A and B are shown apart, each in its own frame.
Chain A
Amino acid sequence: MADFGHIAIVAAFVVACYAAIVGPLSAHLRAPDLLQSARNGVYAVALLLTLASATLMAAFVTHDFSIKYVAEHSSRDMPASLVAAAFYSGQQGSLLYWAWTLSLFSAIVMLQNRRTARDFMGYLIGTLMVVAGFFGLILGFVASPFEKTLIVPAEGLGLNPLLYDSGMLYHPPMLLAGYMSWTIPFAFAVAALASRRLDAEWIRATRRYALVAWAILGVGNLLGAWWAYRVLGWGGYWGWDPVENSAFMPFLVGTAFIHSIMIQERRGMLKVWNMALVMVAFYLCIFGTFVVRSGVISSVHSFAQSSIGPYFLVFLSAAVIGSLALLWYRLPYLRSDNQLDSMLSREASFLMNNLLFVGLVFAIFWGTIFPLVSEAVQGTKITVGPPFFNQVAGPIMIGLLVLMGIAPLMPWRKASPDALLRSFVVPLGAALVTATGLLLFAPNGATAIASLTACAFVTATIAQEFWRGSVARGQATGEALPRAFGSLVRRNNRRYGGYVVHLGVVLMAAAITASSMYQLERTARLRPGEALEIGGYRLTYNGLRERQEPGVRVVEAQLAVQSGNQLLGAVTPDKRFHRNFERQPSTQVAIRTTPFEDLYVVLAGWDPDGSASFIVFVNPLVVWLWAGGVIALLGTFVAMWPAPRPRAVTAPAPSPAFAVGRA
């Protein structure tokens, strides 16, 4: 079985190399037969990597411990779902997952772009297959998931206890797929440059794939936060860990891209800048995959250290140099069609947005790699912990929030100051009321007040946009208001979908602000029967209990939760000792969620006399962080929904520059 999987990977590598050469060659020679062959190559790579993945999955499900990767990452007594998830729990498997999903996405792109210009497709295939080929090289010859064990063990080592959680089923596949999916917009950019087809069409196509990649990466990040919140036990969901940062950076650059690309669509400006953004997003995704899997920067995610680092560095450098050289070479084709008309315009506010996003990414990048820099420069590792990121990123993020309220009110090209002032009355009023209220009742620092005031401002802006749009449409068509609202969103789904995403982001921002700035924390060592009080809760410790689950010894503390005289129920935070990992117990935090706050109880340790120590937090509004994420995702779906355009269905006259290849 191991041999079969290995052969499939090597074959995929060979075919990817073939397609990577033949694709661009077909564009160069204008040979449609060769292009068809390269296309078939893409399908073949997808098939071969699917076979390889299915083989590895089968090895996991049948507990085939003759394969080292299976023996090191699973055991017989693990729940079936986690056995399946162990597929991507280590380096080799997660790289195989990356390559496999890339091959599937590439095949889908092939199917969706059957009518796209041939030379464009040739270079597109070339780019996609170079990336796939690189992963094939790693998987086939450097870090093979199908390496065999010398002596077949009777039982596997099992999963790293930190991964022993349902979060394992969602977060890694989403995040890795998010990294992977930025390859598609990158390949479109390279193909557009190489084939000189830099008209509106590639932007339209790329935007859709970029939005998909952005959504997947965003959900992956949020799921990571959710997981960390539930199992790491320090009361928060985001620790500015290097791996978290690496996943966040391409998301931020991607966010800048999906905004500034609108300027290019509307006004034909910023062509070089957008190219650069989409390329940087891809570099950061490769960098992120490298960081999470190489252990070069120490992190809670470094489960394996290995030899793939140099390969990734060489590949990343080659990608950076190659694509930037191509961009440089094509600069004459990327002149702006239009100029800026006014500082008071949507364009100008998007430029501001880009500045802040890029500045934010730089700050995070700098903080993430600085320990390496300091080690190289002065020989000691300087730690850059969460306080740095909070102090630097916090204000920039508040700036972005404020911009999110201003930009939608700015018209394209040029605003008339009078109309602009009128549209700011309601949002500014809302901001003023919020700020006053906070100062009077919850004066918890300038940052918190600024952030929550900005949230109110943005919410009012968006509500006003929906209201004005619906009323205007109702007057124009005679529809009743709810109906006008519906058709408004349906007909302008990109705009109003975007607003829904913004609403989700505002909710998340408010939740993050509240849960970090208004957090309560208390530590206590309690003997059975003693209680601790925090934020109106009274927690009475009723002793420890030990139980055995398959492969895990669980020690849980029992606490009764009271509010005033009312008994709210019991919470049971625990520690889990997994077999083979007894010295590395994992934490299960007990969380009691209400719409207003989370009561978050961690069992920190215990002593022979039966007393136990606890860390207890009250985190306000955390549930709205997750809800905001869901709303933002829904908004993304609205924005991506195909607009009811007759042109898109029939497409009788493809644009000459794009769709006509050489016969």
Chain B
Amino acid sequence: MVPRGWTAAPVAAPGRASLLVGLLLLLLSLPGVAWADPLDEEARRIGKGLQCPVCQGASVADSPSDLATQMRAQIRRKLEQGDNEEQIVAYFVERYGDGVLISPPRRGLGLAVWLAPIGVLMMGAVVLGLVLRRWLTHRTRPPLEAPTEPAMNRNGSVAVAATAHSNGSVALASTVHLNGSVTSATADASTSRVRDELDRFRRDA
């Protein structure tokens, strides 16, 4: 990656002579504003749409590499020959492949780049919409309680208060002792769900 001009032209420290020349130039060109060449601007614009093939994340317009410098010159030459942007881009795509385009082409695999984010966003919106609708319409049903964590007593026994709302309601308040016995205040534990809960607490104890 030798940037343009650096090594070819190590700067001659501006000596007295060049200073004088500079002053002379200054006097000669005082009102002269260097208007940027329209072809230069056009070349730069086209270069911005091309990826420098040997660089990491820099366009042909912005890269200081040798190859990018040559490509800029090529663009410039082709513009002078009267080629338009489309022709120039096509020329580079032919030489370097689709990878030289800074944006993926909107065809073939490149199209997937553009469509996937939109697709995912729309899918997400649909899923969110469905979920919201379900939440809003099923709102009246009482929620199923999450399994309750046991509160531990000092003696190591576990007090359980589980409430389950499925097929009517089952209320349960029991104490599981370390020896595995269960004392229940209300033991209407006909559902398997509650039995599972108890089993789990027993295992944990």
Contacts and interface: CB of A to CB of B under 8 A. Distances in A.
Contacts of B156: 662-663
A607 interface: yes
21 contacts: A300-B57, A332-B146, A338-B143, A339-B138, A339-B139, A343-B136, A355-B121, A358-B124, A359-B117, A359-B120, A374-B110, A382-B104, A388-B104, A522-B41, A524-B34, A528-B25, A529-B23, A543-B22, A585-B3, A607-B5, A660-B151
Interface of A: 196-197, 199, 233-234, 239, 241-242, 298-300, 302, 332-343, 348, 351-352, 355-356, 358-359, 362-363, 366-367, 370-371, 374, 377-378, 380-388, 392, 396, 522-533, 538, 542-546, 555, 575, 577, 582-585, 604-608, 610, 656-657, 660, 662-663
Contacts of A355: 121, 124-125, 128
B4 to A, nearest CB: 4
B113 A370 contact: yes
B33 A532 contact: yes
Given A388-B113, A608-B9, A383 B99 contact: yes
B57 A242 contact: yes
B128 A606 contact: no
Given A197-B149, A383-B102, A606-B11, A388 B114 contact: yes
4 nearest A-B residue pairs (beta carbon): A529-B26, A385-B102, A363-B117, A359-B121
B14 interface: yes
A335 B144 contact: yes
Contacts of B149: 196-197, 199, 657
B36 interface: yes
Task: Select the residue from B19, B23, B29 with max chain A CB neighbours within 10 A.
Answer: B29
B116 A382 contact: no
Interface in B1-57: 1-9, 11-14, 18-19, 21-23, 25-30, 32-36, 40-41, 44, 49, 51, 56-57
Given A523-B36, A523-B41, A530 B29 contact: yes
Contacts of A370: 104, 112-113
A38 to B, nearest CB: 21
B3 A546 contact: no
B154 interface: yes
A382 B100 CA distance: 8
A352 B132 CA distance: 11
B85 interface: no
Contacts of B128: 351-352, 355
A223 B144 CA distance: 48
Task: Select the residue from B35, B49, B64, B113 with max chain A CB neighbours within 10 A.
Answer: B113
A577 B12 CA distance: 15
Given A383-B100, A384-B103, A608-B8, A340 B51 contact: no
Nearest to B56: A298
A382 B33 CA distance: 42
Contacts of A583: 1-2, 7
Task: Select the residue from A387, A396, A525, A575 with max chain B CB neighbours within 10 A.
Answer: A387
A338 B103 CA distance: 46
A529 B102 contact: no
B22 A610 contact: yes
**Would you call the interface of chain A mostly helix, strand, loop, or mixed?**
mixed
Contacts of A300: 56-58
Interface in B77-102: 97-102
B175 interface: no
B11 A546 contact: yes
Contacts of A607: 5, 9
Contacts of A367: 113, 117
Given A367-B117, A604-B4, 5 more contacts: A339-B138, A374-B109, A382-B113, A388-B103, A660-B151
B143 to A, nearest CB: 7
Contacts of A334: 146
A380 B108 CA distance: 13
Contacts of B147: 332-333
Contacts of B32: 530-531
A233 B64 CA distance: 11
Contacts of B100: 383
The interface size bin for chain B is 35 or more
Nearest to B44: A523
Contact of A382 (B11, B44, B110): B110
Contacts of B3: 585, 605
Interface in B117-152: 117-118, 120-121, 124-125, 128, 132, 135-136, 138-139, 143-144, 146-147, 149, 151-152
Given A396-B121, A607-B5, A662 B57 contact: no
A381 B101 CA distance: 11
B19 to A, nearest CB: 7
A383 B132 contact: no
Contact of B102 (A378, A386, A396, A531): A386
A383 B63 CA distance: 15
Contact of B143 (A234, A339, A660): A339
Contacts of A657: 149, 151
Nearest to A239: B57
B146 to A, nearest CB: 5
Nearest to B200: A196
A451 to B, nearest CB: 18
B154 to A, nearest CB: 7
A605 B68 CA distance: 14
A662 B152 contact: yes
Contacts of B49: 387
Given A343-B132, A386-B102, A543-B19, A366 B154 contact: no
Contacts of B105: 382
Nearest to B31: A531
A525 B40 CA distance: 10
Contacts of A663: 154, 156
Nearest to B22: A528
Contacts of B120: 359, 362-363, 366
A605 B5 contact: yes
B4 A605 contact: yes
Contacts of A196: 149
Given A343-B136, A544-B14, A380 B33 contact: no
Nearest to B122: A359
A340 B98 contact: no
Interface in B139-196: 139, 143-144, 146-147, 149, 151-152, 154, 156
B132 A340 contact: yes
B40 A529 contact: no
A227 to B, nearest CB: 15
Nearest to A558: B14
B163 to A, nearest CB: 13
Given A542-B22, A605-B5, A348 B124 contact: no
Contact of B34 (A242, A299, A531, A585): A531
Contact of B29 (A352, A524, A529, A656): A529
A656 B112 CA distance: 53
Contacts of A522: 36, 41
A385 B51 contact: yes
Task: Select the residue from B8, B120, B149, B154 with max chain A CB neighbours within 10 A.
Answer: B149
A523 B26 CA distance: 20
Task: Select the residue from B34, B35, B146, B152 with max chain A CB neighbours within 10 A.
Answer: B34
A302 B55 CA distance: 11
A546 B124 CA distance: 58
Nearest to B62: A234
A358 B127 CA distance: 13
A367 B132 CA distance: 30
B83 to A, nearest CB: 20
A135 to B, nearest CB: 26
B18 to A, nearest CB: 6
Contacts of B118: 392
Nearest to B205: A662
A616 to B, nearest CB: 10
